[in-house]
């Protein structure tokens, strides 16, 4: 710790680093506007930079935070970016890349790491959440294999893929309505399974609660669950597992 701070101070002394940048490095965060304290230590501490959650932030706030992060990070990622927000974002950050189905915007290039996540969806309506997971995994540098629309109502679609499931490294299962796919996959797989309930459904699906409860009560062990529609969280967990 002492050594790190000494080096930073040397850089300030020799003009290689501004006092403000040095302060941020010592504190481990950087105040952005008067509305955010960006966690600049996260890449070092956790292996991936802070990700901007677009929900509840203005386009201006998102732009300012992404610009601030861009300076010191190879890749910057923002989730829950609606198209009209990205339109504004693109004016200021023309190099930004947008994944419309996943509603993710990125700046920079992901690292290249070995390992692959297999992502399944029960239905077509679950694809946006699955894409959020996929883009997250890819931004962390890992590969993705996609199996869309293999829900249990026609279970032969899934059983055909039994081999893929049994040899996967990490599985992400994305399902709304009854969420039953997680239990079937959890019973076939050797590897860790991450369940993502989605808000697809109506009536007693209660915006994803039905699928969430199914997954939490899965009769198959070895399954970890994330929040409803939280493809990003599932992708990050998968990346952490592969990062071991």
Examine residue 202 and tell whether it contacts a second copy (CB under 8 A).
Answer: yes
Examine residue 174 and tell whether it contacts a second copy (CB under 8 A).
Answer: no
Window of 7-15, 89-97, 102-110, 236-244 that interacts with a second copy by CB under 8 A = 236-244
Window of 6-14, 22-30, 68-76, 105-113 that interacts with a second copy by CB under 8 A = 22-30
Q: Which residue has the tokens 């969430």?
A: 212
Window of 7-15, 90-98, 102-110, 220-228 that interacts with a second copy by CB under 8 A = 220-228
User: For the chain, what is the HEC assignment?
Assistant: CHHHHHHHHHHHHCCCCCHHHHHHHHHCCEEECCCEEECCCHHHHHCCCCCEECCCCCHHHHHHHHHHHHCCCCEEEEECCCHHHHHHHHHHCCCCEEECCCCEEEEECCCCCCCEEEEEECCHHHHHHHHHHHHHHHHCCCEEEEECCCCHHHCHHHHCCHHHHHHCCEEEEEECCCCCHHHHHHHHCCCCEEEEECCCCCHHHHHHHHHHHHHHCCCCCCEEECCCCCHHHHHHHHHHHHCC
Which lies closer to a second copy via its Cβ, residue 125 or residue 143?
A: 125
C-beta of residue 76 within 8 angstroms of C-beta of residue 70? yes
Candidate list 14, 34, 95, 114; residue touching a second copy; CB under 8 A: 34
Which lies closer to a second copy via its Cβ, residue 41 or residue 108?
A: 41
Which lies closer to a second copy via its Cβ, residue 13 or residue 202?
A: 202
Which lies closer to a second copy via its Cβ, residue 46 or residue 95?
A: 46
Residue 211 CB, nearest distance to a second copy (Å)? 7
Examine residue 138 and tell whether it contacts a second copy (CB under 8 A).
Answer: no
Examine residue 35 and tell whether it contacts a second copy (CB under 8 A).
Answer: yes
Examine residue 240 and tell whether it contacts a second copy (CB under 8 A).
Answer: yes
CA-based diameter of the chain, in Å?
A: 68
Mark 82-121 with x for binding to a second copy (rule: CB under 8 A) and - for no binding.
----------------------------------------
How many residues belong to the site for a second copy (CB under 8 A)? Answer: 102
Examine residue 55 and tell whether it contacts a second copy (CB under 8 A).
Answer: yes
């Amino acid at each position: 710790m002492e050594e790190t701070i000494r080096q930073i101070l040397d850089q300030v002394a020799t003009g290689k680093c501004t006092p403000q940048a040095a302060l941020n490095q010592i504190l481990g965060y950087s105040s952005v506007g008067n509305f955010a304290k960006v966690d600049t230590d996260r890449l070092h501490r956790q292996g991936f930079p802070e990700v901007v959650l677009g929900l509840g932030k203005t386009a201006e706030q998102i732009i300012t935070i992404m610009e601030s992060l861009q300076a010191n990070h190879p890749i910057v990622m923002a989730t829950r970016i609606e198209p009209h927000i990205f339109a504004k974002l693109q004016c200021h950050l023309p190099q930004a890349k947008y994944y419309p189905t996943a509603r993710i915007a990125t700046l920079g290039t992901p690292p290249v790491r070995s390992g692959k996540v297999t992502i399944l969806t029960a239905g077509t309506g679950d694809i946006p959440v699955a894409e959020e997971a996929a883009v997250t995994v890819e931004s962390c540098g890992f590969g993705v294999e996609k199996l869309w629309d293999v829900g249990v109502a026609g279970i032969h679609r899934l059983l055909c893929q039994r081999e893929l499931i049994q040899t996967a490294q990490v599985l992400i299962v994305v399902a709304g309505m009854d969420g039953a796919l997680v239990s079937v996959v959890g019973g076939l797989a050797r590897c860790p399974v991450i369940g993502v309930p989605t808000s697809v459904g109506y009536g007693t699906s209660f915006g994803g609660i039905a699928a969430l409860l199914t997954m939490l009560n899965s009769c198959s062990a070895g399954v970890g669950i994330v929040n409803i529609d939280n493809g990003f969280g599932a992708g990050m967990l998968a990346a952490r597992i592969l990062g071991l």
